[in-house]
Amino acid sequence: MRSFRSYFFEKAIKLSVSRAARKGVRSKEMDEQRELLDAAAKKIVKLPNNCLLIPSEIGGIYVEWLVPKRSMEDKVILYLHGGGYALCSANTHRPLAARIGDAAGVKVLFPEYRLAPEHPFPAAIEDAVQVYRWLLSKGYDSSNIVLAGDSAGGGLCLAVTLVLRDENEPLPAGIVCLSPWVDLTSSGESYRKNNELDPYLNRKLVRDAARMYAGKEALDHPLISPVYADLFGLPPLFIQVGNHEVLQSDAELLAVKARIAGVETSIKVWEGMWHVWQISGDFLPEARQATREIGQFIRKTLKK
């Protein structure tokens, strides 16, 4: 059963998004949208008090290490942020990634991969694969690495793992997908059922973002929409999704396809929750509980 706080918080999100739409925020140029999101995030989202932030660079890619006070040196979460492959950054998603690292007791490596439309598919995949390979080159064993991501970042985690599998490279120990965007054809029932219910996303917005990221490629390309890929051989998969979001069908179809392929899969559909509610942090009891469960999966997967 959802909390009263989440009910009123969802109403507030809908009102805020509606006001932004009336002001024409979504019609602004992409750079302006990114700047607005970053500026808003800096005002309202903060790192956990016990987390150390270390900026760095890997092959020209800006990255951040997010290090909880109690974390193992040899284990790491590679976190890939959402934003439709076109928006968001460390500023918008750093606190979510840090809270997950804190819950798991594992440090986080957070790369800012290239974004569409300037850099469409497969630029994001290339950057994420490069960062993963860098971890291996620095002595991190693949069994001590978990990939995690929300929305487009969840789909990106799967695409990266598929590339690694097909090139016979060591795979991560597990994959965490929060409200994953994994069917860019928008074919699922929730794109219709939840189109008016989702406070953040709607079918048109998602379809526009999909076309921008895919460029000239087909939307059902297996690295663009991993639900159309052969998922055989992938590591254990942990999925969270809300039943108020348009991407609910993506997550559920991913779980079905993964299980058919023999992948150990855990999925939980959260009552009354919206797209990537986990980012709400300590404000929502559902976000706190979801983060604890993510941490438990990562701890078990990395055998801490």
**Chain-centroid distance, C-alpha 214:** 18
Query: What digits encode the pLDDT tens for the residues 64-93?
Result: 999 998 888 899 999 999 999 999 999 999
Which CATH number is 159's domain given?
3.40.50.1820
Which member of 6, 151, 179, 280 is catalytic? 151
151 in active site? yes
**Mean pLDDT in the chain?**
91
What radius of gyration, in Å, describes the C-alpha atoms of the chain? Answer: 18
**Mean of the pLDDT values across residues 215-232?**
98
> Which residues constitute the domain of residue 41?
4-302
271 in active site? no
Site of tokens 């509980």:
289
245 in active site? yes
Eight-class DSSP state of 54:
E
Instruction: Tell me how far apart the alpha carbons of residues 250 and 230 are, in angstroms, rounded to a whole number.
Output: 16
Which member of 245, 249, 252, 280 is catalytic? 245
Count how many domains the chain has: 1
Instruction: Tell me how far apart the alpha carbons of residues 107 and 135 are, in angstroms, rounded to a whole number.
Output: 13
Instruction: Tell me how far apart the alpha carbons of residues 251 and 265 are, in angstroms, rounded to a whole number.
Output: 11
Which member of 64, 244, 275, 286 is catalytic? 275
Q: Which of 122, 138, 55, 116 is nearest to 91 (CA)?
A: 55
| Structure confidence at residue 48 (pLDDT) | 77
Amino acid at 216: K
Instruction: Tell me how far apart the alpha carbons of residues 275 and 273 are, in angstroms, rounded to a whole number.
Output: 7
Query: What digits encode the pLDDT tens for the residues 31-69?
Result: 888 888 777 766 666 777 789 999 999 999 999 999 998
